[in-house]
Amino acid sequence: MNNINSDETEINTGYIWPDWYHSLSKFQVSNNLKGTWQVLNTTIPYFCLWYLIIRSIQLGYSYKVTLLLILTAAAFLVRMFILFHDCAHNSLFTSRNMNIVIGYFFSVFLCISFADWRFTHLRHHWMYANLDSRGYGDVWTMTKKEYENSSTLQRLRYRVYRNPLVLFAFGAFLLSKRPEYFMVKPRERVDIILTYMVIAAVAFTASNFIGWSTYFLIQLPVLWFAGGVGVWLFYLNHQFEGGYWARKDDWNPLSAALKGSSFLKLPAVLNWFSSNIGYHHLHHLNPVIPNYNLRECFNTVLALQAKDPTTITKVLNCFSLKLWDEDMQKMVPFP
């Protein structure tokens, strides 16, 4: 990839990219002003909503009012996560150090270790849709043959995991790859420990000011709703009709991006809260393009528009897809 940053190592360097692919590089230029504005228009409303929720609880307003504020705060937390995601790709700001600083800042409110998540997510980009390299930051996906040859217990585990109620209620936990802690470098392990210590310190301090019960009445539902929406978005980014998976020898990055990642066509307001992550096929083609440049890039490069969009009306069909059929080359329901 042209001018790609050091963390985004290109896969399969012998692959010949189409001519239009190289035009994507001009959209990967970060803009500090845009990045700063996105941080401000996300964090300030989020903090204001927390204040309003606290006052709503303290003054005894109807829980319907409080719940509406909690849902709105969760929507801003989802947007914060996508900006956090851009920081992991070093794309939100021009400075690598600024991306790291803001990434750690967001991690406190997201309750996610920046170093740990970045480690897993970057490997997801390098290995996604490769059947011989599954398990890095993706939704557990078995092939049809693997499922048919599995034990009854393994099938049951997989069915429970792929149940929408389980996946979206506990998906943020299920997708959290704690074993990677032992695979990262020692310095990153220290970062992980320090991050969770800061998160604990912030929680302790906030609870002393507003009370433990108030803190958990806000924090838990906000994280739960935001986590569910985040997993829903991530699921639809890669689990859709058709799709693409291939064995190592047949895998190529262009097909993994264009066929293995969806174009989730969302209403404008949802695009804003999800920071254009619906243009996921484009994001996988060039992960260094900042979220605020994705739509312009999509509208400029005609080859990107050939992708069949996953619309809101198609979303429910995606939830019935459970297995990758290697013979039919598509996602299929359980037998």
At residue 193, the pLDDT reads: 84
From the list 139, 193, 200, 189, the residue with the least C-alpha distance to 168 is 139
At residue 174, the pLDDT reads: 54
At residue 313, the pLDDT reads: 83
Residue 13 lies in a domain: no
Residue 112 lies in a domain: yes
Residue 86 lies in a domain: yes
At residue 168, the pLDDT reads: 82
At residue 115, the pLDDT reads: 87
Q: Which two tokens stand for residue 196?
A: 């969770």
Long-range contacts of 319-325 (CB under 8 A, 24+ apart): 319/164, 321/239, 321/240, 321/241, 321/243, 322/162, 323/141, 323/142, 323/143, 323/144, 323/147, 324/131, 324/141, 324/142, 324/143, 324/144, 324/243, 324/245, 325/143, 325/144
Residue 18 lies in a domain: no
At residue 192, the pLDDT reads: 80
Residue 6 lies in a domain: no
At residue 45, the pLDDT reads: 98
**Adjacent-strand bridge partners of 325:** 330
CB atoms inside a 10 Å sphere around CB 232: 18
From the list 145, 64, 93, the residue with the least C-alpha distance to 291 is 93
Residue 244 lies in a domain: yes
> What is the extent of the structural domain holding 266?
23-332
Mean pLDDT by 10 residues, the chain (335 residues): 38 69 94 98 98 94 92 98 97 97 95 87 89 84 95 93 85 50 61 87 93 93 92 91 91 92 94 96 96 97 93 87 94 93
Residue 34 lies in a domain: yes
Residue 118 lies in a domain: yes
- Domains identified in the chain, total number: 1
